[in-house]
Amino acid sequence: MPSPYRALFAAPGTKGFSAAGLVGRMPIAMVGVGVLTMITEINGRYALAGGLTATIALSAAVLGPQVSRLVDQYGQRRVLRPVTLVAVSAISLLLVAAANGWPDWTLFVLAAVAGCVPSVGSMVRARWTTLYRDTPQLHTAYSFESVLDEVCFILGPPVATLLSASWFPEAGPLVAVVCLLVGVWWLTALRATEPAPHPRSAQTDTSSALRSPGLQVLVGTFVATGAIFGSIDVATLAFAEEHGHKSLTGFVLAIWALGSCLAGIVFGLLRFTGRTEIRWVLGICAMAVSMIPLLLAGNLPFLAVALFVSGLAIAPTMVTTMALIEAHVPREKLTEGMTWTSTGLAVGVAIGSSVAGWVIDAAGARTGYVVSIASGIAAAAVAFAGYRRLTRPAQGEEPSSDGDGDSSDVRDRVA
């Protein structure tokens, strides 16, 4: 492992919470694809599968920031364990309901409750931030976490689809539930690295982190970015099925994640100067442009190559986003701020998967990538429109550096 990454783990406890976070966040890559595969294996209804995935994502969009806000106030252990039990119970009942042909409305109710799944990635990033705030190591830590996110998307989809397609339909989501339970319990048992809670008082600002104009831009852009991800998931599943290789869906999506993973590793080794906001906008634009070749794919190998190339822009953009969040969100609201971007992605995934499902049912699998292209254009448009708001924080905030090698520049412009 390159020395900047090795140096991250000099602090006690870092290996433990990083490993626990990896296990606990596997469901982000497994639940969506697992539910899609489960429903289509049971009844072949892509619209229902996309609708359930969208419901889980929308519920997470509503409940996720509230869970993280409670975490900032009361601490990770006190909040995450009971919330995880609720989520695990809801997903387990969803599997039972799907397997036994319960009415559709019961599936949607259970999917809505399942949305309280905590943002484990945000919890781990908050621990890194507590350790390495205002140091160059924080950029490397964020890059490392983005790499782990992509590792989840390399391993998760193939495991989920293979289990559901070749073992039994509910197998993929079931394994995801086990990972969530084990990962959260392990992470919350590591008390030494848990960020200190920030209890509310009469003098405490109790407003949402989303009041920050910069965070609003990031979240708005991530809604469109999430639509890219959601539409690609559904379109790729349908595309693979049309070509007689549905079980290979997870591997094709894993190649997409592999491109992002490799880019994230390299990005973490670099040190940058200049405006973080410009790098972020360029990353969003690169993601938008990389959607175009997907519509031209005529077979799975071509599609896999196109997805690999498009994945190269993902991790660097995510890392830069984390740096901007730290610059625009007060310390006592950091976990909530990070979760709001996940919420934006979740809303986008819900929109993208639902719209793509309808488009595919009406016009075929390849047409689903039109939704991806349109989402990329929307993301770039929002990024350009909100650029000025990213160059200054919300009034009254005291942001810290961006942690990626240009901290003095950020302090001069943002603090």
Of 25, 415, 6, 3, which is closest to residue 214 (Cα–Cα)? 415
Phi, psi of 78 (to 5 degrees): -65, -30
Report residue 333 as tokens: 């609201």
Kindly state whether residue 219 falls inside one of the protein's structural domains. Answer: yes
The pLDDT, as a whole number, for residue 124 is 92
Q: Is the pTM of this model over 0.75?
A: no
Closest CA to 127 of 148, 142, 147: 142
Describe the crossing of helices 314-328 and 334-363 by its angle, rounded to 10 degrees. Answer: 140
The answer to the question of residue 23 being in a domain is yes
Give the CA distances from residue 363 to residues 235, 318, 358, 369, in Å, rounded to whole numbers and listed in that order: 11, 32, 9, 11
Number of domains in the chain: 1
Asked whether residue 7 is domain-assigned, the answer is no
pLDDT mean values, one per 10 residues, the chain (415 residues): 74 91 86 81 78 81 85 90 93 90 90 88 89 83 83 76 80 90 94 84 60 84 90 88 79 85 83 80 92 88 92 88 80 79 79 86 86 94 87 48 36 27
- Residue linked to tokens 């920030």: 198
Query: Domain for residue 292, yes or no?
Result: yes
Nearest to 38 by CA among 171, 179, 156, 152: 171
Please give the Cα distance from 19 to 23 (Å, whole number). Answer: 7
On the CB side of 202, how many CA atoms lie within 13 Å of its CA? 0
Residue 59 lies in a domain: yes
pLDDT at 362: 84
Q: Where are the alpha helices (DSSP H) in 43-170?
A: 46-74, 76-99, 104-114, 120-132, 137-166
For residue 205, the model assigns a pLDDT of 56
Report if residue 202 sits inside a domain.
no
8 A C-beta contact, residue 234 and residue 33: no
What's residue 93's pLDDT? 94
The CATH number of residue 41's host domain is 1.20.1250.20
Q: What's the distance, Cα to Cα, between the start and end of the chain in Å?
A: 35
Q: Which domain holds residue 249?
A: 14-196+208-414
Which pLDDT belongs to residue 392? 63
pLDDT at residue 413, as a whole number: 28
Q: Is residue 250 one of the residues assigned to a domain? A: yes
Cα–Cα distances in angstroms (integers) from residue 29 to residues 23, 135, 254, in the given order: 11, 30, 10
